[in-house]
Amino acid sequence: MKYTIEQIQKGEDELILRYQRLNYEVESVLQFMNAPPKKIIGTKNDTQAVIDFTDILYAETVDRKTFIYTADDVFRSELTLTQLEEVLNTVNFFRCAKSMIINIDKISTLKSLASNRIDATLVNGEHIIISRTYASEFRKILKGESTDE
């Protein structure tokens, strides 16, 4: 499939899809284009907030409580980390430690550490350590390799 990407300085974003036959690739793009934005509910100061999946930097469990971190806020989630991982499985989220899920799209730099760990710096400057248990799977994802067994 051939595609063209053009960044514009002004005007409305536009996505045009031209195809001869409806095949798997075209259907995938159509599904992406028609999918509603994914959102989740988080709580802060007894107030519920709607959080767009794309705003989530990472989520972690501390003392059996799950927290969702965005660039500006921290929200409590009623979901367990495993439940949250299932909800986020359609987006670029990755289990990077036993108690943490990270948004791969929010990583700005990576640095290899001793013991096969990876230091991931997020777009907000925060450092997340990808544990050695999950590091090889993470490297496969970055290379575009399948992690299914």
pLDDT at position 5, please?
83
Q: Which residues touch 58 (CB under 8 Å, ≥6 apart)?
A: 69, 96, 100, 101, 102, 103, 106, 122, 128
CA pseudo-torsion sign 143, 147, 148, 149:
positive
Q: What is the predicted pLDDT for the residue at 36?
A: 62
Per-residue pLDDT of the chain (149 residues; tens, 9 = 90+): 787 888 888 988 888 888 999 888 888 888 777 766 688 999 999 999 999 998 999 999 999 999 999 999 999 999 999 999 888 876 789 999 999 999 999 999 999 999 999 999 999 999 999 999 999 999 988 887 755 54
Specify the pTM: 0.73
Full set of structural domains in the chain with CATH: 39-143 (2.40.50.1020)
